[in-house]
Structures are given as C-alpha cells and as structure tokens.
C-alpha cells in the first residue's frame, strides 16, 4: 500500500509542477493575458473490425461494429488559457445490441496544456497520451472499449522529443472487481536527421478482489526501439524493437515467474494516403498466464493482458501485414481509415478488415475576451 501511495503522490507532484511551474516560466518571456472561455469538445467515431481467426489456436473470430460518442463541456481559464476543467462522458453502442448503451464512462478532469507541457488529473481520454505504445501494450479493441485513463499524467512534447509518465487506476478493490493499476512511461526523440529511438514501460499491478487474498499478479513490459524515417518519393518508416517482460503470479508455489522476450521489425511505406505496413514479431509467448485461472475461478485473459492476443504465439512468430488508406480532412477534424490485415502465427494466414471514420468538434461557446466593453 505504501508503494502505491508513493506512486500516486509522485504523479500528483509532477502534475502540480507542470501546471504551476510552467506558468512561472512563461511569465518573463511573454505577456500572456487572462483568458476565460467556455467550449465544447467532442468526437463521434464509428469502428468496424472483423477478425476471422477460425482454425487458429490463438484468439477467436469476432466482429466489432460500434459507434462511440465523447461529448464534453470545458471551461478554459488563466494566463494564456492553458488551464481547463472538462466534464463529459464516453458513450459506446454496439450495433445490433438491444441495450441503449453498452458502455458509459465518466470524463471529468483538470488539464494544463501549452505548446510543450501537459498535465492531467481525473478521468480523461486515452488519446491525450503522447507516448508510443505498440499493440503489445494495447490492442485495437482495448483502445476502442477502454478509451479512458483514470488517474494522473504529465508529459513534455516538442518537435525533437517526447517524455511521459502516467498512472491509470482502472480496478476497484471490491467483490466484483480486482484492485488494479498501471504505471506507463514513454520517452523518445529524433537524432541525426533521419533517425529516432525510444523506450516505453508498463508496470501493471493486478491484485485481489475483496473476497480473497494471495492472488496478486505483477506484469511489467519494456519496449526499446530505434528507427529511421525518410522520403524517397514514398514515405518510409523502418523500426527495430525489443520487448522484455517480467511476470509473476504470486499464488503459485514455484514463484510463478516468467520472463518472455522477443524482437520486432516494423516497416511502413505510404503516399497519397495509401499505405503498406508490416510488423514481424519473433520470440516467446508474451502472455504465458493468459489461460490460467485465479482464486475467483476466472481466467486472467484480457483482464491481465490488454495487448493484441496474437502476441501469445506458440510458434515463436507473429506477422501482421496491413494494406489500406488513411487520410484526414477539414483541418484534421475528420479522419478516415480502411485496412485489410493479414496475420500469421505459424499455423495459417488469417484475415481482418478494419474501417474507422471519426469527426472531432470543439467549438468555443463563449469567449469573455470578445465580450469585453
């Protein structure tokens, strides 16, 4: 409990430093005026993801077809308008469901944001994170169905580098849910004109329900990478990465420790919105406890692992090839993506089809500076 409390305190200190210290840093460099405004911030997105995994021992065929609405009302204040308080909801409906809403989550948070620094406290959208987290950390379905972070986050973002630290407390200690939180950290940057490198970390504490004890699982994942982006008629992105995990199921008599690892090679070629990308993973099963059952007789499965389930390959290889179109319109407020995906885990080639259409809207409802006499 002391360690968990310390983590939260450190993150709150980080948020306070970014929110207060940066205002002080701005003061001598520029004369920013007090700014007050009421604004609406929202997005509507339709997701289609049809996965055909029949005949493969990993994963299962399923179709996601849903619409997500994230309406929010915010109040911007302070010098330069860098401070905001936002309240809203993340609402999701699966097409064909008899329920009016299948998922509903509260959005309520404080935000500090200027041209480089950002700080968040509360329940905010996962899209606000600036770090690089591969599908080994978060699958496409996780990003759709669990699009909020409940906790605190702070980041630095410039043209040359980024750094981020966050805590997501996404499990309540109760008879129905396990106590669970995740610490995320990501840092990276560009060097030597065409090259970049970085490191991302995830520390997940998957603990007990209030009905039992002695079933804590630790799940840590590190991803280091180095890559190159350049243009030669087409846009190229090449990246080599290394994944290392430390996992421990404390209820097992032998210590329940696993150290899965693997390498990745990623490349993407694109132009005019058309793209071809490929991600080749070769290494261990990154989800060794996936099918184990806890004291509540439920499988750990996606409760413990939020990454793409195909990283649990038994053959030592997982390859994902995507061919599609991705573009933004109307000053980046409307985005469209369509992709045909071929995946291979050593048994057979599987096919998925993905389509996503999203529109963002953030009009200013009232700006006090424009109504002064």
Mean pLDDT for the stretch of residues 275-283: 97
Tell which residue, 291, 282, 351, 339, has the closest CA to residue 311: 282
Number of domains in the chain: 1
- Does 30 score more than 50 pLDDT? no
Q: What is the DSSP string of 42-79?
A: EEEEEEEEEEE-TT-SSS--EEEEEEEE--EEEEEESB
User: In 3D, which of 344, 357, 345, 339 has the Cα closest to residue 50?
Assistant: 339
Q: Which of 9-13, 248-252, 307-311 has the lowest mean pLDDT?
A: 9-13
* Segment 229-274, tens digit of pLDDT: 999 999 999 999 999 999 999 888 777 899 999 999 999 999 999 9
Helix (H, G, I), strand (E, B) or coil at 20: helix
The domain containing residue 255 runs over which residues? 2-371
Check: CB of residue 68 under 8 Å from CB of residue 144.
Answer: yes
Of the candidates 318, 355, 338, the residue with the CA atom closest to the CA atom of residue 59:
318
Predicted confidence band of residue 13 (pLDDT cuts 50, 70, 90): low
Render pLDDT for 95-143 as a digit per residue (tens, 0 to 9). 999 999 999 999 999 999 999 999 999 999 999 999 999 999 999 999 9
Q: How far apart are CA 225 and CA 131, in angstroms?
A: 13
The full 3-state SS of 247-268, as one line of letters, equals EEECCCCCCCEECCEEEEEEEE
60: confidence class by pLDDT, cuts 50, 70, 90: confident
What pLDDT does 6 receive?
54
Q: Are 69 and 44 in contact (CB under 8 A)?
A: yes
Neighbours of 130 (CB within 10 A): 16
Instruction: Please report which confidence band the pLDDT of residue 31 belongs to, taking 50, 70 and 90 as the band edges.
Output: low
Q: Which residue has the higher pLDDT, 22 or 208?
A: 208
Asked if 61 contacts 52 with a C-beta cutoff of 8 angstroms, the reply is yes
Residue 27's pLDDT is 44
As a whole number of angstroms, the distance between CA 244 and CA 263 comes to: 9
pLDDT of residue 80: 84
* Interacting residues of 148 by C-beta distance below 8 A, sequence separation 6+: 90, 105, 107, 123, 124, 125, 126
In sequence order, the 6+-apart residues with CB closer than 8 A to the CB of 140 are 49, 308, 354
Helix (H, G, I), strand (E, B) or coil at 128: helix
* pLDDT at res. 251: 87
Residue 216's pLDDT band, with cuts at 50, 70 and 90, is very high
d(CA 298, CA 217): 14
Q: CB neighbours (10 Å) of residue 47? A: 23
For residue 50, what is the domain's CATH number? 2.40.160
Which pair of tokens denotes residue 160? 């040359």
For the chain, what is the mean pLDDT? 89
Residue 139, φ and ψ in degrees, nearest 5? -75, 170
Region 276-305 average pLDDT: 94
Kindly state the average pLDDT of the residues 196-203: 97
Distance, CA of 107 to CA of 303 (rounded, Å): 22
Say how many residues make up the chain. Answer: 373
> What is the per-residue pLDDT for 29?
42
Q: Are 236 and 267 in contact (CB under 8 A)?
A: yes
Question: How large is the average pLDDT for residues 182-191?
Answer: 96
320-366 pLDDT tens trace: 999 999 999 998 899 999 999 999 998 888 999 999 999 998 888 87
Residue 184 burial (CB count, 10 A): 22
Residue 62: pLDDT over 90: no
User: Which 3 state secondary structure label does DSSP give 5?
Assistant: helix
Is the pTM of the predicted complex or chain greater than 0.85?
Answer: yes
pLDDT beyond 60 at 91:
yes
């Amino acid at each position: 409990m002391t360690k968990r409390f310390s983590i939260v305190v450190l993150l709150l200190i980080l948020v306070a430093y970014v929110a207060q210290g940066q205002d002080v840093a701005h003061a001598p460099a520029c004369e920013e005026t007090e700014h007050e405004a009421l604004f609406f911030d929202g997005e509507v997105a339709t997701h289609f993801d049809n996965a055909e995994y029949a005949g493969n021992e990993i994963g299962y065929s399923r179709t996601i077809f849903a619409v997500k609405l994230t309406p929010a009302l915010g109040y911007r204040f302070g010098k330069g308008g860098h401070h905001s308080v936002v309240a809203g909801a993340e609402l999701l409906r699966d097409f064909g469901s008899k329920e009016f809403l299948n998922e509903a989550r509260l959005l309520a948070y404080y935000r500090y944001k200027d041209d480089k620094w950002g700080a968040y406290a509360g329940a905010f959208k996962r899209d606000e994170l600036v770090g690089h987290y591969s599908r080994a950390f978060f699958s496409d379905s996780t990003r759709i169905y669990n699009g909020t972070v409940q906790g605190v986050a702070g980041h630095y973002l410039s043209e040359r580098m980024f750094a981020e630290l966050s805590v997501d407390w996404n499990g309540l200690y109760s008879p129905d849910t396990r106590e669970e939180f995740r610490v995320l950290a990501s840092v990276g940057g560009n060097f030597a004109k065409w090259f970049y490198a970085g490191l991302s970390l995830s520390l997940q504490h998957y603990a007990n329900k209030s009905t039992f004890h002695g079933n804590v699982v630790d799940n840590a994942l590190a991803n280091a990478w180095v890559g190159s982006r350049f243009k030669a008629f087409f846009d190229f992105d090449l990246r080599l990465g290394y994944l290392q995990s430390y996992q421990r199921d404390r209820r097992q008599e032998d210590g329940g420790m696993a150290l899965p690892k693997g390498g990745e090679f990623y490349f993407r070629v694109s132009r005019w919105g058309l793209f071809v990308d490929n991600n080749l993973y070769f290494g261990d099963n990154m989800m060794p406890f996936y099918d184990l059952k806890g004291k509540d007789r439920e499988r750990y499965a996606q409760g413990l692992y939020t990454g793409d389930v195909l990283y649990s390959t038994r053959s030592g290889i997982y390859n994902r090839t995507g061919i599609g179109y991705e573009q933004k319109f109307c000053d980046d407020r409307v985005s469209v993506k369509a992709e045909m995906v071929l995946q291979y885990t050593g048994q057979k080639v599987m096919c998925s089809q993905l389509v996503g259409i999203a529109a963002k809207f953030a009009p200013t409802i009232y700006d006090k500076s424009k109504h002064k006499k």
